[in-house]
Amino acid sequence: MLKRCNRAMAGKKYWRGPAALDSCKPLFQEHKILTVYSLYILEAAKFIKKYPEKFSKNSEHPDANIRVTRNLTYKGNNLYVKPCRPLNLVQNPLIMLARIWNHLPETIKSVAEI
pLDDT digits (tens, 9 = 90+) for 6-59: 888 888 776 667 666 778 888 888 889 898 899 999 999 999 989 888 888 877
pLDDT in tens, 57-113: 877 766 655 554 544 555 556 887 777 777 666 677 888 888 888 888 888 888 876
Q: Contact, 101 vs 44, CB < 8 A? A: yes
Q: Contact, 87 vs 95, CB < 8 A? A: no
Among candidates 86, 98, 91, which has minimal Cα distance to 54?
Answer: 98
| pTM beyond cutoff 0.85 | no
